[in-house]
Amino acid sequence: MTLLIFSVVIWCAVWAMNRQIANSPDRDDRAARIFVPVVLGGATLFLWEGLVTGLGVSPVILPAPSDIAATFAASTAILWEDFVQTVLKGALTGYVIGCTAAFVIAVLIDRSSFLTRGLLPIGNFVAALPIVGIAPILVSWFGFDWQSKAAVVVVMVFFPMLVNTVQGLRETDAMQRDLMRTYAAGYLQTLVKLRLPAAMPFVFNGLKIASTLALIGAIVAEYFGSPTRGMGFRISTGVGSLSIDLVWAEIAVAAIVGTLLYGGVSWIEKVVTFWHPSQRR
Amino acid sequence: MKTAFPVLVVLAAIVALWYAAVAPMNIRTALDQAERAGAAVEPAGARERLEVSVWRLMIDNPDHVSEGYALDRPRLPTPVQVGEELWKTTGEMVLKGRAMSKRSLIYHASITLQSTLWGFLLGTTLGILGAVAIVHSRVMDMSVMPWAIISQTIPIVALAPMIIVLSAQLGIEGRGVPKAIISAYLCYFPVLVGMVKGLRAPTASQLDLLRTYNASQRETFFKLRLPASLPYLFTSLKIGIASALVGTIVGELPTGAISGLGARILIGDQFGTPLAIWAALLAAAILAGVLVTLLDILQRVTLKRMGMPT
């Protein structure tokens, strides 16, 4: 009980401190911008710990963060195996294939304004559809192993990426293209030196959306059949056998991987599109 | 009109490609069936045929290619087959007066729609309230916004079975609640981001003008920030409702639900009836289209009445 009260007090103290920082003149500091959310996250984890142990919540319902961390540390071998199966083989393969294919096709159809006008509304519509539902069909086509997961990911990331790239390629205005023409630049030169760089913010937007979709696709596809490894497999069997702490450890892995993937794409975006207003400091 | 023609041409091309793909996809199943029915097939035996490519099979057995277009359990059904299955489970049921029977997709779509709308309502409310708090309080902006972004990089489907177990343990009846929570989780983020952008859309000079009028924060909110945010709101609502539908279907997939479009997909997979999966997918697509279109119309009407460009 004391832990519960203690954690609540800590959480409120952290909030008050964040309030102080947010209203102080140093608030735009890089350190402050990172410090504030990180401390709040830590305090929330501690509050979770306090609530679970203080109120005596059964670990079958919600394990404490310390239990999850202990399970995480004890079962790194299983977690690594699942990580390789789901993320490296399923999600990343599909992500690379799907995004590359969408990018290449976007550049190709961009040459014809007819195709662009025809494909853009359809692509926009398909991007809004619940494509994850296609997972069981693809699992029955490509078998239980990671190939079917990669296929689901390819289908899921393809349309958001296509739509964003096509939109990005249309970003340059007539003035800029005219300038390239006065330089006697050919199609390829205009594409490489003007239109692709201008499209990069959109391309990276698509890549970021696709990075979260890739993990979702790979995990959902495993619910429909997988070899006896993989994050989705472990989660669905773990829920069934009530080894909830292992499930939470997998969720932690998924969260870390998702954040790292997104962060990685954002970092590359920062390097590539340093000139864009949204990246300037 | 300028876009209608290209869209139709591209759609026709997609359907044509689909039809062309049906033959190689289904040739093995068609040959297996033909062989079982006693027809001579080259080469004989399903195991031997696995060694041969589908193109070879199609050249060697030209008579059986057409059978691939009329299988009961095709690997890839034709669009017409999917349409017929959809009609059989919707329109025909209505004509028979059993629109709400357990076999009717209308019933399953209504279950999915219900959870989607609850999730949408919950997610939108959370998103808008969060955006208002973030715009007005710096500490919320600094400490909550990064976590909102991180929350979206976590694959929610990993959490979906957990949410269902949790709500079952907490004694929440029915499968609607966990599904609605999942769809709210997917739906709140676009609304939050859109609303933050929208509420911050008024320029400094507009805000200054209201300050010279001695307007309170409340008045500034209702008379300037809120109206200015509406175009952003509607755009993100359209993304939000599509995400909410995805969330509901994902919530139905891994959890052994028995009603709802996601459950139809699951059951179709377990019972080996691909047509049921395809029909449910098509129904989900139609549902998504209808919901987004409704919001689009609402957006046009509202913005027009407010005198904003649409």
Asked if the model's pLDDT at residue B95 lies above 80, the reply is no
DSSP A129: S
Can you tell me the mean pLDDT for B108-116?
A: 89
Can you tell me the mean pLDDT for B243-248?
A: 88
Can you tell me the mean pLDDT for B282-292?
A: 90
CA distance B116 to chain A (A): 12
Asked if the model's pLDDT at residue A34 lies above 70, the reply is yes
Asked if the model's pLDDT at residue A251 lies above 90, the reply is no
Better pLDDT: A152 or B53:
A152
DSSP A134: G
Amino acid identity for residue A45 in this structure = L
Name the residue among A209, A115, A218, A219 with its Cα closest to residue A160.
A209
Asked if the model's pLDDT at residue B156 lies above 80, the reply is no
Between B138, B145, B239, which is nearest A23 by CB? B138
How high is the pLDDT of residue A101? Answer: 95
B153/A261 CB distance under 8 A? yes
* A17 part of contact set with chain B, CB < 8 Å: no
pLDDT 10s digits, A202-211: 899 899 888 8
Better pLDDT: B125 or B260:
B125
CB A95 within 8 A of CB A210: yes
Can you tell me the mean pLDDT for B66-78?
A: 82
* B199 part of contact set with chain A, CB < 8 Å: no
Question: Could you tell me the fold of the domain covering B105-305?
Answer: MetI-like fold (1.10.3720)
CB A52 within 8 A of CB A63: yes
Asked if the model's pLDDT at residue A88 lies above 70, the reply is yes
How high is the pLDDT of residue B68? Answer: 78
Nearest CA in chain A to B252: A133
Better pLDDT: A240 or B74:
B74
Which ranges in A63-195 belong to alpha helices (H)? 65-74, 76-83, 93-109, 113-127, 135-142, 146-169, 174-182, 187-190
| C-alpha A6, offset from chain centre | 35
pLDDT, averaged across chain A: 86
Can you tell me the mean pLDDT for A175-202?
A: 90
Asked if the model's pLDDT at residue B89 lies above 70, the reply is yes
Asked if the model's pLDDT at residue B122 lies above 90, the reply is yes
CA distance A39 to chain B (A): 9
Domain coordinates in residue numbering, chain B: 4-76, 105-305
pLDDT 10s digits, B30-59: 888 888 887 777 777 777 777 778 887 788
**Contacts across the A-B interface (CB distance below 8 Å):** 164
Can you tell me the mean pLDDT for A237-241?
A: 80
Rounded Cα gap, residues A237 and B161, in angstroms: 10
How high is the pLDDT of residue A280? Answer: 67
How high is the pLDDT of residue A179? Answer: 92
B residues 216-245 near A, CB within 8 Å?
238-239, 242, 245
Asked if the model's pLDDT at residue A61 lies above 70, the reply is yes
How high is the pLDDT of residue B119? Answer: 92
**Cβ neighbours of residue B116 closer than 8 Å, sequence gap 6 or more:** B183, B241, B244, B245, B247, B248, B291
pLDDT, averaged across chain B: 84
- CA-CA-CA-CA torsion for B263, A134, B283, A122, nearest 10 degrees? 160
**Cβ neighbours of residue A145 closer than 8 Å, sequence gap 6 or more:** A226, A227
Q: How confident is the model at residue A142 (pLDDT cuts 50, 70, 90)?
A: confident
* A140 part of contact set with chain B, CB < 8 Å: yes
Q: How confident is the model at residue B124 (pLDDT cuts 50, 70, 90)?
A: very high
With tokens 């694959």, the residue in question is B155
Residue in B15, B18, B139 to test binding to A, most A beta-carbons within 10 Å: B139
Can you tell me the mean pLDDT for A15-19?
A: 85
CA distance B9 to chain A (A): 7
Better pLDDT: B266 or A242:
B266
B142/A122 CB distance under 8 A? no
A236/B249 CB distance under 8 A? no
B147/A41 CB distance under 8 A? yes
ipTM value, please give it: 0.81
B residues 110-149 near A, CB within 8 Å?
137-139, 141-147
Nearest CA in chain B to A33: B142
Can you tell me the mean pLDDT for B207-212?
A: 92
Rounded Cα gap, residues A142 and A136, in angstroms: 10
Rounded Cα gap, residues A120 and A84, in angstroms: 35
CA distance B251 to chain A (A): 10
B274/A114 CB distance under 8 A? no
Helix-helix angle B105-136:B138-153, to 10 degrees = 150
* A142 part of contact set with chain B, CB < 8 Å: no
CA distance A219 to chain B (A): 7
**Cβ neighbours of residue B138 closer than 8 Å, sequence gap 6 or more:** A22, A23, A27
Asked if the model's pLDDT at residue B101 lies above 90, the reply is no
Can you tell me the mean pLDDT for B95-120?
A: 83
Can you tell me the mean pLDDT for A114-122?
A: 85
Q: What is the 3-state secondary structure (H, E, C) of chain B?
A: CCCHHHHHHHHHHHHHHHHHHHHHHHHHHHHHHHHHCCCCCCCCCHHHHCCCCHHHHHHHCHHHHHHHHHCCCCCCCCHHHHHHHHHHHCHHHHHCCCCCCCCCHHHHHHHHHHHHHHHHHHHHHHHHHHHHHHHHCHHHHHHHHHHHHHHHHCCHHHHHHHHHHHHHHCCCCCCHHHHHHHHHHHHHHHHHHHHHHHHCCCCHHHHHHHHHCCCCHHHHHHHHHHHHHHHHHHHHHHHHHHHHHHHHHHHHCCCCCCCCHHHHHHHHHHCCCHHHHHHHHHHHHHHHHHHHHHHHHHHHHHHHHCCCCC
Q: How confident is the model at residue B174 (pLDDT cuts 50, 70, 90)?
A: low
Better pLDDT: A28 or A130:
A130
pLDDT 10s digits, A92-106: 999 999 999 999 999
Can you tell me the mean pLDDT for A113-142?
A: 84
